[in-house]
Amino acid sequence: MAKSAHQDVLQNGLQYVKDNADKYYACSTEPTTYAEATSTYALASENVSSSDFTWETGSTGEELTVAAKSGISIDADGELNHVALVDSATSKLLIANTTSSQQLYAGNELNLPSWKMISRNPV
């Protein structure tokens, strides 16, 4: 299982994610495109805004934490193993990240824990 970031995130940093992510998807497979994150592999989704992200300075660099989400309606049966943050205004998959695997069932609710993205200090 892999993690990925859009070129705009790599060039502009994690602030780009905070400023532009507007939807959070739970996915059954690692999405590599916006369409895969929002349709092909999507099991559940939730709106996000800049208030769902917080900055911390950690020992290895700047950390952007994505807030935990609870009560997300599950739209499709499947095994969750990735989450994705997208910018729906520009149809961009911003970040795909691994998450704990679990079986999801349509009609139930999902709770996702918080997680961090780190921009490491130079070495």
Asked if residues 98 and 2 have their Cβ atoms less than 8 Å apart, the reply is yes
Please report, for the chain, the start and end positions of each structural domain, with discontinuous segments joined by +: 4-107
Residue 43: what residue type? Answer: L
Q: Residue 1: is its pLDDT beyond 60?
A: no
pLDDT tens per residue, range 85-101? 999 999 999 999 999 99
- The pTM of the full predicted model, rounded to 2 decimals, is 0.90
Please give the mean pLDDT across all residues of the chain. 93
- Measure the N-to-C terminal CA separation of the chain; round to a whole number of Å: 26
Q: How confident is the model at residue 123 (pLDDT cuts 50, 70, 90)?
A: low
